Structures are given as C-alpha cells and as structure tokens.
Structure 1
Amino acid sequence: MYRFLLTPRWLGYLALTLVAAALMVFLGNWQLDRYRGRTAINERIDAGSTMAPAPLRDALPAPNGGPGSTGPAPAERLTWTRVTATGRYDTANVVLVRGRTVDNEVGFEVLTPLVLADGSAVLVDRGWIPPAPGGSATTQPQVPAAPSGDVTVTGRVVSSESGGGAVDRREGKLETRRISVPRIARQLPYPVAGGYVLLDQQTPAADPAFQAVPIGHTNNWQNFGYVVQWWLFAGMSLVGYGWVARREARRMAGLDTPRTPVDRAAEPAAPTSA
C-alpha cells in the first residue's frame, strides 16, 4: 500500500522534509544557546546588585601599553560584576555620549576617566543628564563638576560597545555616539582599562543632577519562544509528510473515492398534508 514511497518523487519529498526539519531543529538549538546566554547575563546582573564590591583589578586587568592603549576586555563571566576603585577624575577629558535615552527622554551619558595610582585610568559612567534647556537633543548639557582629590567609586563592570564612529572634541569635551573604549582611549594621555564602570555609588557623593543609568535585563524568554516555535515547525513538517503520504495511499487504494453528488431536484416532492 505504501510502496509508492520508494519512488524517486516521494523519496525526493522525504529528503526535502528531512532537510527542512533538520534546519528547523538547528535554528531551535541556536535560539536555545541564545536563551542560555541571555539567562546567564540576567543572572549576573541580579547577582551584581547584592554582591560585595571586589577590587577593580579582579574584573578589569591593568593595561600594559602606552598612552592611548587599551587593556584586555573583561571576561564575559565578569561583566556586571560590582567593583570598587579609588583615583582622581580627569576633568579635562570628560566624554559625552549623545543620543542616550532614559525614561523616553534623549540626553547624554557622562563618562569621566578615573586616573588610578599606577597611572592608568578606567572610564566611569557617572550617569545621565538631559540636554541644555531650550536646546535640541544634541545641545551639550551643563555637566556638573566632578569632585577634586581622591574619589572612591563603586559600580558595575560593562564591556565596550561595538561600533561607535568618531570621537570628536567639541567645546572642550569629547563627544561620541557609542561607548567604544578603544576609540575613546586613543584620545587620552594614558592607558585605559578595556571595559568601563557604570557608577552605583561614589565618595564624595555624586551630584544629584545625574540620573542613574538603568540596567535592563535581556529578553531571554523571547528566545525561548523561538525555540518552541522552531521545534514545533520541525515536528509539523514530519507530521505533514506523513499525512500527505497517508492520503495518497488511501487515494491509490480507492478508499477516498468521491461520492456521487445527490441531485435533490430529481427527488420526488414530499406530499403535503391537508
């Protein structure tokens, strides 16, 4: 009854079905890896909110190059680790990162290099501030002065952002669109750590004009939904092949012969009662 499945045409259908199902399983497995990776990020973010801060060098190795060079990037397992460091802010090289949105308002994140005792520096994201009143979204804000003297910061280790574009100096401040640590480091007169610190706390206290940059969790459940979707599609393709093959077998066996339509008009009319 099912010998037709061994014909070249049906073997071709089977091969296409198996290839499609295998591709969908592969895509599901890829999304599963994405789900696990994003889940690990969320777990590190949650752990960082309660952990005691570790020394900066536990997560960000010291750079060993000359001025303008960048140290090693933080290991993935150490991103979002809470760290602490003490140094002096270099107020001559404030970096404004434009086009950053907080609470649906576009403004600037303010990075200031914290120069450490060994002569290297780490970029500290001190927070978000809106553009200057009455200006556009790209109008430079009034940046609160950084504390002078020794400053102790506590914050999260964040990896350098990809992309970036140019880092320009305008009105005495560096400006960029993305926090690309290597690009920013080229404009600075000392070696810079390979990641940056998103400020949580500071001693002396940070200026209240700064708004904390929120840390968003990744949408890992979206990836999990894609896993289920692709695996369901794989199963449906196999079930669909089986259903079509069964229908063809029944047709060839004459089990699904269409019924002759009944001509209702030719049937005698039922007698009506008086």
Structure 2
Amino acid sequence: MIEEPATTTQRRTEVEPRRSGELARPAARPAGPIAVYDTVTEGMTGWQFLRTWRWFGFIAAAILFAVVCVFLARWQFDRGQQASADNAIVAANYSAAPVPIDEALPTLASYDPSQNWQRVSVTGDYLTADQLVVRNRSNGGDNGFEVITPLQLSDGSIFIVDRGWVTPSADDPLSPAAIPDPATGTVTVVVHLRPSEEQGGTGAQSGNQISSITLPRVQQTIGGDVYTGAYGLLDSQSTAAQPGLQLLQTSMPTEDVGTHYSYTVQWLFFALIGFFGLGLAMRKEHRQLNSDDPEERQRATERLRKRASKPFTDEELEDEEIDGYLPLTRWGGSAAAAAPPPRVILPPQAKAAERPPGVEPPSGVE
C-alpha cells in the first residue's frame, strides 16, 4: 500500500468534500483576528514611517495630482478670461453705429478679431445667380440651411452676405424649402461682421450647396474679387426683404463665463482633497503604529467617549433592529477588550524550536 504524502493528507483535512456540481470549500478558520505585521514599518514609532519609500511615493503622487489639478484650473481660468474678453468685444460692437465697409475692411483680406460682430454698412447689387446654400446649420435647435448671397459693390468687389436661415423642404430633407429672391437693384445693407470659417464637413460641394462659409472656397466657386477676411450676417437693409428667411441673430450673443470659473474652483478643490486624503492616511498609520503609546491610548479613549456621546443615527438604529445589537465601540467600549487576542502565526522554524526533543508532529500537521 502506497502511503499518501503528508501534503495530500493535510489538503484533505483542510477542504470539505465537494458535492456534485460544487467547488471545494475550505474548512472554517479559527475564530478571532490573525495578527498581520508590516515589515516595512515594523518597530517604527512617531512619524518615522514617513521616511519610508512607500510614503515617499504616496506624497509624490499627491503632489503630482495637485499639480495636474492646478494646471487644469489655470486652463479653465484662462478660458474664462478669454470668454470675458470676447463678450466685451461683442458688447462694444453689436449695437454700435454702422461703419462703412471701406473703413472697416480696407482690403479684401482685412479682418481683426476685435471686429467680431461689428456693424458695417454696404451698398451694392445682389448677384442672385451666384447664390449659395450652407447645409446642416442650426437655428434655435432646428436643423436647416443658411442662404448666402454675393453683394457686388460699385468698385466690382464682392462681399458675401448671409441673408438668413430656411427650413428643409417637406419633400426632400436634404434640400432647402423655397428661398425668396433677394431685393433687386442697388440696396444698402447693415450687417454684423463674422470671420471666415474653417473648412467643415466631409462631403463635396453639391450644386449650390456648401458645408461651411469658408470664404477662400467661396471665391473659388463664384470667382471675382471676393472679401475673404469676413462676411456679413444680415441685420437690416434699405429695401425690405421678402418673407421666408429667418434672421440668425436677433439679440446680442454671449459666451458662458461662469462655467469656466466654476470648473476652476472645482479643480482647486480636488487638489485640496488629494492632500486631505493623504493627511487622513498619515493619521491612520500614526495611530496604528503608536497604539501602545499611553498618550495615544488616552486620545483613542477620548475619541470613543465623544463618539458614544453622539445620538444614534437612523442607519445605526436600523442596524440594531436587523442585527439585534450595536457594536461595543459605539457605546464607548473598547473593541480590543471584547475581542480575543490575535493569533500569532509562527514560521515553521519557530514551531520546530518550541517542540520538545524527540516529539514529532501528527501526520498532516506542521
């Protein structure tokens, strides 16, 4: 008969027999906590544990997290500052008296960001044959088309005017509804200057439809001496326009500033939370390593007394109804006094040294 190894016998004594369809379950462990020792901070007292590499890493991580949060807070603050500056420009330009186009835009490529939403007066004739439609444009949450019509000045130059927005056709959502013709003859319009847009959309130009008001591309499409620095969003004109187009901007636009400053405060708060969490971890480690210190014991007793003096919360009362009791520490008692002493797990060498000479352990037991 072949004798089974001791490890096999020990395994059989530690695991209950497995039933059909079930995994093997380990036998119940002895009651009571098991002592666990930290070899990194063992023997340290006071705040000496902060000089270990582990805590160096924790502190460095908290500092790095704070630096990232401060960087993001500064980024949001700069965005808020830029939004405030943009709003100031719009407020100064939106309702100001119109400026002649040759004064506002001395050359075809002229435009400065400080001229955003500036009111400009232009006199000329609409070139209806070169009219274009910009697809996928939103107005009040609805999707539709913007109609841009070239306006030829007396010197032959061409200024692009965005005459308004129109809904899609009821029969074909990819095409605009009926577009009213622009005024005939010489007209004087007042527009708000807007910069040339970046090329948008991936689709190619289809008929008179374009994906964005990119003025250099518009110049290539219609030809001639086109103003490529800015175009005009129609505000009013001397000859009343025919009904059918909706003006795109009827009130002064503003950028949201408060959100950026709110995010700035939040990121700074997150940086403080990181250091707060680090401080809590330091305090917890200090209390554990100095639990035998009389002063620390006195402070722990005082904490238990203050905690026991507080009224029970609804959650604690609910737990008492379910479990039938509240933890002893909640009443101001000592958890250490109520719990059995920790079971110290000795290494095999120590066990062998404590065993009397000539006595061998039972089969399957260390």
TM-score by length of 2: 0.63
Match of 2:48 in 1: 3
Residue 209 of structure 2 corresponds to residue 182 of structure 1: no
Match of 2:336 in 1: 260
SS at match of 1:117: coil
- Report the Cα distance in structure 2 between the residues aligned to 1:5 and 1:246, rounded to whole angstroms: 11
State the 1:216 CA deviation.
Answer: 4.3
Residue 247 of structure 2 corresponds to residue 202 of structure 1: no
1:53-64 mapped onto 2 (5 Å cutoff):
53-63=98-108
- Report the Cα distance in structure 2 between the residues aligned to 1:247 and 1:56, rounded to whole angstroms: 71
Cα displacement string for residues 99-137 of structure 1 (whole angstroms, at most 9, x for unaligned residues): 2222333221110111223322221111112233x3232
Q: CA RMSD in A?
A: 2.3
- Report the Cα distance in structure 2 between the residues aligned to 1:91 and 1:36, rounded to whole angstroms: 42
State the 1:44 CA deviation.
Answer: 2.8
SS at match of 1:168: coil
- Report the Cα distance in structure 2 between the residues aligned to 1:138 and 1:188, rounded to whole angstroms: 22
Which deviates more, 159-168 or 137-146? Answer: 159-168
State the 1:149 CA deviation.
Answer: 2.2
In structure 2, relative to structure 1, the CA distance for the partners of 1:206 and 1:48 (3 Å cut) is farther
Residue 110 of structure 2 corresponds to residue 76 of structure 1: no
Residue 247 of structure 2 corresponds to residue 212 of structure 1: yes
SS at match of 2:117: coil
Tell me if the contact between 2:193 and 2:233 (Cα under 8 Å) persists in the aligned partners: yes
Match of 1:123 in 2: 160
After TM superposition, what 4+ stretches of structure 1 lie above 4 angstroms from structure 2?
none
- Report the Cα distance in structure 1 between the residues aligned to 2:174 and 2:107, rounded to whole angstroms: 34
State the 1:58 CA deviation.
Answer: 4.4
Tell me if the contact between 1:99 and 1:137 (Cα under 8 Å) persists in the aligned partners: no
Which deviates more, 17-26 or 100-109? Answer: 100-109
State the 1:252 CA deviation.
Answer: 1.6
- Report the Cα distance in structure 2 between the residues aligned to 1:37 and 1:60, rounded to whole angstroms: 24
SS at match of 1:208: coil
Q: Larger relative CO (CA 8 A, sep 6+): 1 or 2? A: 1
In structure 2, relative to structure 1, the CA distance for the partners of 1:145 and 1:51 (3 Å cut) is same
- Report the Cα distance in structure 2 between the residues aligned to 1:169 and 1:152, rounded to whole angstroms: 31
Residue 179 of structure 2 corresponds to residue 143 of structure 1: yes
- Report the Cα distance in structure 1 between the residues aligned to 2:90 and 2:148, rounded to whole angstroms: 21
Which deviates more, 18-27 or 83-92? Answer: 83-92
1:26-65 mapped onto 2 (5 Å cutoff):
26-63=71-108
- Percent identical pairs in the alignment equals 34
Tell me if the contact between 2:205 and 2:211 (Cα under 8 Å) persists in the aligned partners: no
1:225-236 mapped onto 2 (5 Å cutoff):
225-236=262-273
In structure 2, relative to structure 1, the CA distance for the partners of 1:57 and 1:25 (3 Å cut) is farther
- Report the Cα distance in structure 2 between the residues aligned to 1:36 and 1:136, rounded to whole angstroms: 44
- Report the Cα distance in structure 2 between the residues aligned to 1:7 and 1:55, rounded to whole angstroms: 73
Tell me if the contact between 1:167 and 1:175 (Cα under 8 Å) persists in the aligned partners: no
Q: Structure 1, unaligned stretches of length 5 or more? A: 64-70, 264-274
- Report the Cα distance in structure 2 between the residues aligned to 1:223 and 1:139, rounded to whole angstroms: 38
Counterpart selection for 2:194 from 130, 144, 158: 158
